[in-house]
């Protein structure tokens, strides 16, 4: 099993490819659909995911898809279960297994992610349904006197327990400690908090005996807060991100798949490209994007069957642009290529 998990982890971060995060909860995708005035019915959610998963040639740039509990049980229009459809295209099906970030007792503004109860049994069921990897997201907020050490330790412990259970159950765990962009903090403050977070997470993974060769890390980039008065340049983002991760992420980890974390689709691609342009990194560096891969697709689709080809063109194009960014080969010319 250890060889299988390592192989899946490496395939997920193969050069030129990355992960589509299509694991929005029912509530979150309803908010996305609200922006295009589409009702969030089970059939509309299924049709939209079907649009994404059947896009031609997308397997050239998408190595895995993170699904939600509802989605892993749904099927394509021809009756093929989504996990089977993805696997037939050489795309690994994955699954979100946490139950969301909840208020951390004893704090005013901090959260801890829940979902460990019953997780061993859920992992067994998801593997039977076709999943080959999983995801658990921890949420770290930057603010006055936070994050506290208590918050970092609580989330790191939960992430490590989840990862240990995934390895035991035969799923590659994607470990996602997200330091949120929300706020007016500088890139230097983000560097400090991201460093503390990664230090705690890898310490907990060691304590829980998680083999690092069988995991992937899905972190935030080191970036200015969304309301920062003087945002850092793309070069600063790349340099400080690489500096931070070289200090705290062991080379045994097969790959880092960055989250977009509130960046626009273009920003997320540009920053990933700049990181890979620096070269000589000890891990494969790729993407696991949700909104940054789907925003243009949703706007092209608008819930109309006639718009499916245009929406698939948009998804194929964004996937291709991010695939290029994993080589550091994304340019404005690539962005302007036909297909949008």
pLDDT in tens, 268-290: 999 999 999 999 999 999 999 99
Q: Is 267 a catalytic residue?
A: no
Span 54-77, average pLDDT: 98
- Whether 324 is catalytic is no
pLDDT greater than 50 at residue 340:
no
Backbone angles phi, psi at 152, to 5 degrees: -65, -45
**How many residues are there in the chain?**
340
Catalytic residue chosen out of the listed positions 24, 110, 176, 274 = 176
**Which pLDDT belongs to residue 240?**
98
Q: pLDDT confidence of 190, banded at 50, 70, 90?
A: very high
What does the pLDDT look like over 77-95, one tens digit per residue?
Answer: 999 999 999 999 999 999 9
282 phi/psi in degrees, rounded to 5: -80, -10
Q: Which residues pair with 134 in a beta bridge?
A: 95, 173
Banded pLDDT at 2 (limits 50, 70, 90): confident
Domain boundaries, the chain: 2-335
**Separation between Cα atoms, residue 339 and residue 167, nearest integer Å:** 39
Over its C-alpha atoms, the chain yields an Rg (Å, rounded) of 19
For the residues 56-75, what does the mean pLDDT come to? 98
Task: Please tell me the predicted confidence (pLDDT) of residue 338.
Answer: 58
Residues 95-121 have pLDDT tens digits of 999 999 999 999 989 999 999 999 999
**Catalytic residue of the set 17, 96, 135, 218:** 218
Query: Is the pLDDT score of 239 beyond 80?
Result: yes
Residue 250 pLDDT > 50, yes or no? yes
pTM: 0.97
pLDDT > 90: percent of the chain? 98
CATH number of 2-335: 3.20.20.70
């Amino acid at each position: 099993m250890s060889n299988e998990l390592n192989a899946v982890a490496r395939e997920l971060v193969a050069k030129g490819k990355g992960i589509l995060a299509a694991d929005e909860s029912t509530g979150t995708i309803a908010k996305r659909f609200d922006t295009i005035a589409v009702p969030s019915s089970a059939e509309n959610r299924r049709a939209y995911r079907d649009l994404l998963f059947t896009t031609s040639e997308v397997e050239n740039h998408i190595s895995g898809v993170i699904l939600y509990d509802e989605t892993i049980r749904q099927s394509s229009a021809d009756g093929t279960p989504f996990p089977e459809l993805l696997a037939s295209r050489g795309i690994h099906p994955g699954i979100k297994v946490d139950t969301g970030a909840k208020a951390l007792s004893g704090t005013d503004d901090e959260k801890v992610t829940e979902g460990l109860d019953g997780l061993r049994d859920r992992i067994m069921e998801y593997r039977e349904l076709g999943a080959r990897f999983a995801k658990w997201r921890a949420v770290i907020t930057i603010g006055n006197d936070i994050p506290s050490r208590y918050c970092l330790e609580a989330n790191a412990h939960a992430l490590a327990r989840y990862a240990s259970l995934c390895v035991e159950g035969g799923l590659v765990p994607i470990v996602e400690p997200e330091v949120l962009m929300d706020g007016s903090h500088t890139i230097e403050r983000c560097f400090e908090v991201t460093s503390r977070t990664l230090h705690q997470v890898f310490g907990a993974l060691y304590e829980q005996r998680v083999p690092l060769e069988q995991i992937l890390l899905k972190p935030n980039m080191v970036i200015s807060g969304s309301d920062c008065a003087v945002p850092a340049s793309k070069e600063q983002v790349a340099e400080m991100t690489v500096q931070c991760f070289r200090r705290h992420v062991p080379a045994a980890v097969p790959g880092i798949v960055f989250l977009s974390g509130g960046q626009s689709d273009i920003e997320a691609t540009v920053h990933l490209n700049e990181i890979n342009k620096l070269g000589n990194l000890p891990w494969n560096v790729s993407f696991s994007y949700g909104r940054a891969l789907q925003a243009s697709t949703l706007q092209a689709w608008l819930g109309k069957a006639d718009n499916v080809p245009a929406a698939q063109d948009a998804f194929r194009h964004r996937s291709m642009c991010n695939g290029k960014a994993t080589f550091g080969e994304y340019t404005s010319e690539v962005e302007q290529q036909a297909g949008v």
